């Protein structure tokens, strides 16, 4: 059964410096509060995995938590560049950032292979692009038809962190709406932390909801509002204005540092 | 550009849509001549019917109005890779004469001048959709002789490349720009100027292209946007434009 913990305890117990950590959530349910806790606890040298590193990864990278990024699209959706990510890649500030770059299809397949405990995934992809030089893809021949296919190494993070609507007191997690790769990220990871809007006595069924049974989750922490500025279907909407404001905040090292100090380091967990 | 792109979609076309101009074009088609156009966003929303233009591919409105919501591994494996999508829309920072696209870096990969967001869904959209439409402003900086990085394949090195690479879709069928529309030559697979927008000259289009741009003998003029199209376009707003400033 998943242990019910505070967010501070969850990050302290599950994530060490140098770990490979996947914080997932596809536009919806992005675990911002957990990311902020990683910054507050000063984690260093992390390999961060995520299909769409957006504002929360910009913050983690700018705060110096990351040594390597495994990703497929790094931008501020509908707005533009991630300026902290760009500064790390283009100028090595505050730390040089190693990149392992995929396509969405490749990363999604690699998570699915990780969840299935397979060493790799097979897909039609990457052929003819310059991506194979910057990722872990190989090409193999189908043993049945001879078709040339791409193989990507399974993703097996040390820790998978996702946000969900709610959990019960046994740590069973209920998640609905756009579900991204969260189920795969939790099942592929050696340890997992799920932050939730609320912990309830009983989970009422919701059509189309995913349940992560408490026995596949390591820890659950309540973090109301923990996906903001992303959204939580049924709880609150996406703060589009924040994503637009982030462009100006993140453009300048000083302004960014001030923002992190005020909203993360000096904010209660 | 959005109007020209929307006209290439038909009622019932199943369309893989990204945010920005592609989303605007697809929703414009749905609001005008193609109400049955099926919009699929890579967040896993199939048959989304948003009233507002989404700011991100995972806006809540897409999930609420969709026929089905599936996970990301499923959208790419069962729906895109399996060949169920008619049209994929792509943008890029650079395009070459064979319709190959760069959305990864400007400059050297390890020491880039500009680090762009990266491929995202694009490499497999370009590979597996039955056809790909590219929407891109035309300038010598974007229409280049040589890409700094090949993120997505159009016609690779020319005729036969897609077949050799095992790519199942037909590749780029049109590039819609602010000056006109380019289409691949059936024999050389090289993008040539097939249509020009009102008030634009062929010389302007060739000057805005970084390779010697071929011009089709039967080049056409685009039909200007109709009142109905312009009205529908004005009615399309992004979700944030409808909210009070905050």
Residue B206 has pLDDT above 70, yes or no: yes
Q: Is the pLDDT of residue B245 over 80?
A: no
Q: Å from A194 to nearest chain B CA?
A: 18
Q: Which among B46, B100, B115 is the top mutation candidate for probing chain A, defined by the most A β-carbons within 10 Å of its own β-carbon?
A: B115
Are residues A12 and A136 located together in one domain of the fold? no
What pLDDT does A261 receive?
97
CA B93, B99, B104, B110 dihedral sign is negative
In a domain, A267, yes or no: no
- What single DSSP character describes residue A218? S
Q: Is A110 helix (H, G, I), strand (E, B) or coil?
A: helix
**Set of chain A residues whose Cβ sits within 8 Å of the Cβ of B120:** 52, 72-73, 103-104
Distance CA B72, CA A231 (A): 18
How does pLDDT run across B78-125, given as a tens digit for each residue? 999 999 999 999 999 999 999 999 999 999 999 999 999 999 999 999
* A85 and A28 co-located in one domain: yes
Q: What angle do CA A82, B112, A125 make, to 5 degrees?
A: 80
Considering the domain architecture, whether residues A127 and A252 belong to the same structural domain is answered as: no
Residue B241 CB coordination number (10 Å): 12
Q: Is residue A244 part of a domain?
A: yes
Chain A residue numbers with beta carbons less than 8 Å from the beta carbon of B121 are 73, 103-105
Q: How confident is the model at residue B52, as a pLDDT?
A: 80
CB contacts < 8 A, A to B, total 177
pLDDT confidence of A269, banded at 50, 70, 90?
low
Please state, in angstroms and rounded to a whole number, the distance separating the CA atoms of residues B13 and B34.
8
Mean pLDDT of all residues belonging to chain A = 96
A143 and A236 together in one domain: no
Shared-domain flag, residues A69 and A166: yes
Would you state the structure tokens that stand for residue A216, as one six-digit string? 């596949």
Domain final position from A153, A174, A194: A153
Across the interface, of A77, A105, A129, the residue whose CB is closest to B80 is: A105
Distance CA A179, CA A27 (A): 9
Taking CB atoms and an 8 Å cutoff, what residues of chain B touch A111? 73
Query: HSE (CB half, 13 Å, CA atoms) of B25?
Result: 30
The answer to whether residue A115 is domain-embedded is yes
Q: Domain limits at A18?
A: 3-102+155-261
pLDDT value for B240: 55
Establish if B65 touches chain A: CB-CB under 8 angstroms: no
pLDDT value at residue B62: 86
Whether residue A53 is contained in a domain is answered as yes
Phi/psi at B214 (5° precision): -75, 145
Domain B2-242 bears CATH identifier 3.40.1080.10: yes
- B112: part of which helix (H) or strand (E)? strand B112-115
Q: How far is residue B180 CA from its own chain's centroid?
A: 14
Same domain, A190 and A248: yes
Inside any domain, residue A141: yes
How many domains does the structure of chain A reveal? Answer: 2
CA A122, CA B76: separation in Å to the nearest integer? 12
Residues A29 and A8 in one domain: yes
Give the containing element (helix H, strand E) for B121. none
What are the beta bridge partners of residue A245? none
Q: Tell me the mean pLDDT in the region B8-24.
A: 89
Could you say which of B59, B109, B118 has the minimum Cβ distance to residue A74? B118
pLDDT at B213 over 50: yes
Q: Given this model, what pLDDT does residue A132 score?
A: 94
Q: Could you report the per-residue pLDDT of A205-249, keeping only the tens digit for each? A: 998 899 999 999 999 999 999 999 999 999 999 999 999 999 999
Q: Is the pLDDT of residue A69 over 50?
A: yes
Residue A210 token pair: 């995913």
Q: Is residue A266 part of a domain?
A: no
B106 at A interface, C-beta within 8 A: no
Give the whole-number percent of chain B exceeding pLDDT 70.
96
Do A71 and A89 sit in the same domain of this protein? Answer: yes
| Shortest Cα–Cα distance, B176 to chain A (Å) | 20
- pLDDT, tens only, B115-162: 999 999 999 999 999 999 999 999 999 999 999 999 999 999 999 999
Burial of A198 (0-12, 13-18, 19+ CB in 10 A): exposed
- One domain, residues A159 and A207: yes
Question: Cβ of A77 and B55 within 8 Å?
Answer: yes
Alpha carbon distance A31, B171 (integer Å) = 37
Amino acid B22: pLDDT: 86
Domain co-membership, A64 together with A113: no
Q: Is B183 a catalytic residue?
A: no
Q: What is the mean pLDDT of residues B192-199?
A: 97
Q: What is the CATH number of the domain that holds A207?
A: 3.40.1080.10
Q: Strand, helix or coil at A50?
A: strand
Active-site position among B42, B124, B181, B229? B42
Give the helix/strand (H/E) hosting A257. Answer: helix A253-260
Residue A71 placed within a domain: yes
Q: Do A28 and B71 touch (CB under 8 A)?
A: no
**Rounded average pLDDT over A155-170:** 98
pLDDT at B56: 77
């Amino acid at each position: 059964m998943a242990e019910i913990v505070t967010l501070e305890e969850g990050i302290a117990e599950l994530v060490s410096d140098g770990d490979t950590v996947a914080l997932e959530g596809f536009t919806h349910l992005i675990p911002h509060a957990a990311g902020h806790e990683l910054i507050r606890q000063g984690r260093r040298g992390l390999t961060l995995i995520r299909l769409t590193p957006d504002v929360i990864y910009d913050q983690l990278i700018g705060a110096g938590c990351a040594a390597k990024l495994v990703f497929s699209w790094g931008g501020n959706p509908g707005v533009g560049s991630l300026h902290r990510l760009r500064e790390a890649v283009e100028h090595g500030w505050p730390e040089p950032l190693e990149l392992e770059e995929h396509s969405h299809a490749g990363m999604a397949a690699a998570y699915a292979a990780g969840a299935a405990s397979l060493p790799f995934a097979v897909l039609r992809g990457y052929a003819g692009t310059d991506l194979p030089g910057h990722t872990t893809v190989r090409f193999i021949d189908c043993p049945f038809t001879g078709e040339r296919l791409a193989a990507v190494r399974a993703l097996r993070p040390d820790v998978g962190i996702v946000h969900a609507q709610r959990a019960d007191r046994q740590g069973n997690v209920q998640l609905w709406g756009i579900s991204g790769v969260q189920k795969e990220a939790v099942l592929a990871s050696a340890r997992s932390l799920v932050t939730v809007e609320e912990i309830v006595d009983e989970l009422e069924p919701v059509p189309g909801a995913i349940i992560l049974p408490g026995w596949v989750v390591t820890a659950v922490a309540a973090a109301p509002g923990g996906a903001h500025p992303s959204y939580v279907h049924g709880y609150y909407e996406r703060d589009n204005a924040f994503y637009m404001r982030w462009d100006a905040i993140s453009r300048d090292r000083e302004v960014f540092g001030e923002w992190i100090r005020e909203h993360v380091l000096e904010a209660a967990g | 550009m959005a109007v020209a792109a929307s006209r290439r979609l038909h009622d019932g076309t199943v369309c893989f849509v990204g945010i920005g101009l592609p989303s605007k074009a697809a929703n414009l088609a749905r609001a005008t001549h193609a109400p049955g156009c099926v919009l699929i966003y890579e967040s896993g929303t199939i048959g989304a019917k948003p009233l507002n233009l989404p700011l991100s591919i995972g806006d809540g409105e897409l999930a609420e109005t969709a026929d089905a919501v599936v996970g990301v591994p499923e959208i790419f494996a069962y729906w895109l890779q399996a060949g169920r999508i008619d049209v994929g829309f792509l943008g890029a920072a650079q395009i070459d004469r064979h319709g190959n696209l760069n959305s990864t870096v400007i400059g050297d990969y390890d020491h880039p001048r500009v680090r762009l967001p990266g491929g995202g869904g694009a490499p497999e959209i370009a590979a597996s959709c039955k056809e790909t439409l590219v929407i891109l402003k035309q300038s010598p900086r974007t229409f280049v002789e040589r890409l700094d990085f090949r993120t997505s394949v159009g016609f690779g090195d020319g005729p036969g490349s897609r077949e050799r690479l095992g790519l199942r879709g037909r590749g780029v069928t049109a590039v819609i720009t602010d000056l006109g529309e380019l289409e691949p030559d059936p024999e050389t697979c090289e993008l040539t100027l097939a249509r020009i927008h009102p008030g634009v000259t062929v010389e302007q289009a060739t000057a805005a292209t970084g390779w010697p741009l071929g011009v089709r003998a039967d080049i056409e003029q685009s039909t200007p946007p109709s009142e109905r199209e312009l009205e529908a376009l004005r009615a399309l707003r992004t979700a944030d434009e409808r909210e009070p400033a905050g």
